[in-house]
Amino acid sequence: MYMRRRLVSMFHMTMAHLVTALGVAMLAWILWSLFGEGFSAVSLKLFTEMTPPPGSDGGLLNAIVGSLMMVGIATLLGIPVGLFVGTYLAEYGRYAKISALVRFINDILLSAPSILIGLFVYELVVVPMGHFSGYAGAIALAVIALPVVVRTSEDMLLLVPDSLREAAAALGIPRWRVILQVSYRAAGPGLLTGALLAVARISGETAPLLFTSLNNQFWSANMNQPMANLPVVIFNFAMSPYDDWRSLAWAGALLITLAVLGLTIAARTLLAAKSRMKG
Amino acid sequence: MSVKQFRPAFDRGFHNLTFGLSMFVLLLLVAILAFLVMGSIPVLQNQGLSFFISSDWNPVTDVYGALPAIIQTLITAIIALLIGVPVSFGIAIFLTELSPAWIARPVGMAIELLAAIPSIIYGMWGLFVFAPTFGAALQRWTMANLAPIPVIGPLFASPPMGIGIFTASIILAIMIVPFISAMMRDVFTTVPAVLKESAYGLGCTRWEVVYRIVLPYCRAGTVGAVMLGLGRALGETMAVTFVIGNSHRLSASIMGPGATISSSIANEFVEADSKLHTSALVTLGLTLFVITFIVLAVARLFLLRLKKQAGH
């Protein structure tokens, strides 16, 4: 009887080891294919030439620049708003009834399928404007970044000990300066982590860009026009029957993955450094 | 105005700013719902409820039935959970109960990185690397050995193309595993060591401690994690669009091509040139929103219960 129980236990624990190995192997397999297929396509041309028509040479310059511009504007829009909402939830309205509702809605937005944000921005921006545009893409990305920032900034501000706030308040410093100079400063690395995670999240988003910024085969820095961006170029090129387009798609995929993983690792390291500091 | 009067005014201003932006979050959800409902009106006026129960999707004749997409969305998500939940559970056990800290940290990090990879990468990898391997190895085998079996045979009867509903489910499973296992791990670490130690003291095996102490203690959190994973699997777009095969037909085979709600929207929205087609896709989106909303709300409910439990 005891033997049977031990065997059952051993079986399950072995399975736990195996599936963990499987998970790590999957990451290795994906990265392996990415590097294998992507590296051969990486060259200087990637960063100096436009996306080509099928059958000719080219790079991803317009897509890289388009992605950077849209992610940049989305960051400028989404992060301050998210930070202030997080500030309300953690500082002013910590126990307010309305905060519970805002938290709930924010969680819904956080996990809402991103393609729905694309549909929403299409109806909100693209239809009234009459055409696809870089602005629409940036707005869609900002809507996706917002709940990420709200969540992390609230969590990080709540980690700041209240005794710090009270000490500052006892000195007669007004609330807004306590928040700006004590809470924000103490939570600084955490707030930055949230921002980095939000940027990482939106850099790889494809679905919401499909029908907001669409794509552009040519150079365009005009945000009011359809705009090339890496994810949509990867999607179109990977789905195409042309070999040179597919290899460009792999190169783009490698670039995006490196960027996203780099941002994620930076964010985690920052957070780890912070928790070490606190001891 | 003296400085003293200025200060409270500024403080109120900052308070109001943060409060106003919080209300903006509420407004955002309302606006998303409102625009999706508005976009849905044309096709619902035209076809009424038959939109949801008909399985005939034909943009050429402007007839839209969403049943295959809805059913296949649910099927892919459920198969993904059936594969992904036991694996996530195993990983969470490994990370919390079995491995020494120096392995748990890098492995935990690797699993979290898996969650950070954009879904389009999973899609590309699935289409070019996984699907050919899968089609050549497993699908050829299932077609030869499982398809002739009566009753369940038709489930597997499909040419081994590599892409299809089942392939999409596997890719989805790979995508939700890091997500679910990271949350399960966090929940499992809340179990007081005293509880586990006393069980070991009674002579329980590792598995018995996990199954009879850890799991019941974390029931609410575990269900919450699984529901959040389900929500993610239901709404995942790009990875599925690459590998599901995009066919608006209800077939008995889970190996065959299909289409989910989100893959239909991703594939057809830009090319939809009739008003009804666009509206049909928006209505699909609204349906997806309602489904995921329910799933997420249930998940939050369970996670809320966990928080209450932790705080007593």
A253 touches chain B (CB under 8 A): yes
| Helices within A94-133 (DSSP H only) | 97-111, 114-121, 127-129
Q: Are A250 and A257 in contact (CB under 8 A)?
A: no
Give the Cα separation of A37 and A248 in Å (integer).
10
Whether residues A102 and B231 touch (CB distance < 8 A) is answered with no
Asked if B186 has any chain A CB less than 8 Å from its own CB, the reply is: no
Q: Is the dihedral of CA B73, B78, B83, B87 positive or negative?
A: positive
- Residue B146 to residue B142: CA distance in whole angstroms: 5
- Helices and strands, number each (H, E), in chain B: 16, 0
Asked if B108 and A252 touch (Cβ cutoff 8 Å), the reply is no
**Average of pLDDT values for A139-150?**
94
A274 or A151, which is more confident? A151
CA distance A120 to chain B (A): 6
Which chain A residue lies closest to B242 (C-alpha atoms)?
A239
Tell me, what amino acid is at B288? L
Distance CA A248, CA B286 (A): 35
Window 124-153 of A, Cβ < 8 Å to B: 124, 143, 146-147, 150
At residue A277, does pLDDT exceed 60? no
Q: How far apart are CA A176 and CA A168, in angstroms?
A: 11
B233: DSSP letter: H
- Tell me what the pLDDT averaged over chain A comes to: 87
Query: In this complex, is the C-beta atom of A154 within 8 Å of any C-beta atom belonging to chain B?
Result: no
Name chain A contacts of B24, Cβ cutoff 8 Å: 81, 85
CA neighbours closer than 13 Å in the CB half-sphere of residue A232: 26
| Cα A218 to the center of its chain, rounded Å | 26
pLDDT at B139: 73
Chain A closest-CA separation from residue B125 CA (Å): 7
pLDDT higher than threshold 50 for residue A279: no
Q: Which residues of A208-238 are buried (b: 16+ CB within 10 A; e: fewer)?
A: bbbbbbbbbbeebeebebbbbbbbbbbbebb
Q: Please give the pLDDT value at position B1.
A: 45
Is residue B86 within 8 Å of A199, Cβ to Cβ?
A: no
Whether the CB of A98 is below 8 Å from some CB of chain B: the reply is: yes
Helix A134-159 / helix A61-87 crossing angle, nearest 10 deg: 40
Kindly determine whether residue A207 and residue B266, on different chains, have CB atoms separated by under 8 Å.
yes
- Integer-rounded Cα radius of gyration of chain B: 24
Q: Check residues A244 and B76 and name the one with the higher pLDDT.
A: B76
Q: Decide: A75 and A137 in contact? Cβ < 8 Å.
A: no
Q: CB of B304 within 8 Å of any CB in chain A?
A: no
Per-residue pLDDT of chain B (312 residues), as tens digits, is 445 555 677 778 888 898 999 999 999 999 999 999 999 999 888 888 888 888 888 888 888 888 989 999 999 999 999 999 999 999 999 998 888 888 888 888 888 888 889 999 999 999 999 888 887 777 777 777 776 676 666 666 666 677 888 899 999 999 999 999 999 998 898 888 898 889 888 888 888 898 888 988 888 889 889 998 999 999 999 999 998 888 777 776 777 888 899 999 998 888 888 888 999 999 999 999 999 999 988 888 887 777 666 654
To the nearest whole angstrom, how far is the Cα of B162 from the nearest Cα of chain A? Answer: 15
For this complex, say whether ipTM is above 0.85: yes
Gap between the terminal Cα atoms of chain B: 50
Please tell me the pTM assigned to this model.
0.90
| Contact yes or no for B285 and A210 at CB 8 A | no
pLDDT at B159 (0 to 100) = 66
Closest B-chain CA to A131: B270
- Average pLDDT value for residue range A227-252: 87
Tens digit of pLDDT for each residue in A91-133? 888 888 898 899 999 989 998 899 999 999 999 988 888 888 8
Which residues pair with residue B245 across a beta bridge?
B258
Which residues have a Cβ under 8 Å from the Cβ of A155 and sit 6 or more positions away?
A: A190, A194
Q: Could you tell me which chain A residue has the CA closest to the CA of B90?
A: A16
Q: How far is CA A269 from CA A52, A82, A256, B102, in A?
A: 38, 22, 20, 16
Would you call A106 exposed, middle or buried from its count of C-beta atoms within 10 A (0-12, 13-18, 19+)? buried
Q: Give the distance from residue A181's alpha carbon to the nearest chain B alpha carbon, in angstroms.
A: 14
Q: What is the DSSP annotation of B66-95?
A: -HHHHHHHHHHHHHHHHHHHHHHHHHHHII
- Nearest CB among A24, A91, A214 relative to B107 is that of A24
| C-alpha A155, offset from chain centre | 18
Mutation site for B-interface testing, chosen from A3, A81, A83, A108 by largest number of B Cβ within 10 Å: A108
pLDDT at B5: 55
The answer to whether A214 contacts chain B (CB < 8 Å) is yes
d(CA A83, CA A172): 25
Token pair for A128: 């009234």
pLDDT of B4: 54
Terminal-to-terminal C-alpha distance of chain A: 47
Nearest CA in chain B to A16: B90
Query: In terms of C-beta distances under 8 Å and separation of at least 24 residues, what long-range contacts does A92-101 make, across chains too?
Result: A92/A175, A92/B15, A92/B18, A92/B19, A93/B19, A93/B22, A94/A158, A98/B22, A99/B22, A101/B26
Residue whose structure tokens are 């980690």: A159
Which chain B residue's Cα is nearest to A93?
A: B19
Instruction: Show which of residues 20-49 on chain A sit within 8 Å of chain B, judged by CB atoms.
Output: 20, 22-24, 26-27, 29-30, 33-34, 37
pLDDT for position B158:
67
